[in-house]
Amino acid sequence: MPIPEFVTALRSRVGTDLLWMPGVSAIVVDDDGRVLLGQRADSGQWAVISGILEPGEDPAVGLAREVLEETGVEVVVEALVAVTVTEPVQYPNGDRSQYLDLAFLCRPTSPAVAAAAHVADDESLAVGWFAPDALPADVARSSVQRLGHATDWLAQPSDGPFFVR
């Protein structure tokens, strides 16, 4: 997986020390209520599409960029559904990171765009649309939580723009 240049620059100064990073996650739902997942190249698990924001990047813009880069799907970002903090992650090279994750509900710009979903970079082994009651068995725990946040938000959108758990 490509490491953003700004992270490489930070790592040259701090080594493998814990970095606090801004992350974004997309719960992309199509007109049939299916969710878009990618099978991660690093773990083999299925997950919602996510990524790291570039310095100064607007979260919704960065999220739409990540979804397009990873799946070829253009999205409209509709709502912020959760703000969470991940557990610290240690990567195989020893780097450690922890993420402030902003999870957004998104929709493809059209059914034709949704149908064109494909692996668009080296971060995924596969991408696919799944009914919420027919998810792959190996969905990442963090993605199950993010999907739950979106479900909660959709059930009670008048409660506010996002949930914090």
* pLDDT value of position 161: 52
Letter for the amino acid at 103?
A
Q: What is the pTM of this model?
A: 0.90
Domains delineated in the chain: 23-164 (3.90.79.10)
What tokens were used for 158?
Answer: 């008048």
Helix (H, G, I), strand (E, B) or coil at 162: coil
- Measure the CA–CA gap between 127 and 83, rounded to whole angstroms: 25
How many helices (H) does the chain have, and how many strands (E)? 4, 9
Question: Each residue of 24-61: pLDDT tens digit?
Answer: 999 999 999 999 999 999 899 999 999 999 999 999 99
Letter for the amino acid at 75?
V
Question: Each residue of 113-131: pLDDT tens digit?
Answer: 999 999 999 889 999 999 9
What tokens were used for 108?
Answer: 């493809």
Half-sphere exposure of 64 (CA within 13 A, CB side): 14
Q: What's the alpha-carbon Rg for the chain, to the nearest Å?
A: 15
* pLDDT value of position 6: 92
Helix (H, G, I), strand (E, B) or coil at 161: coil
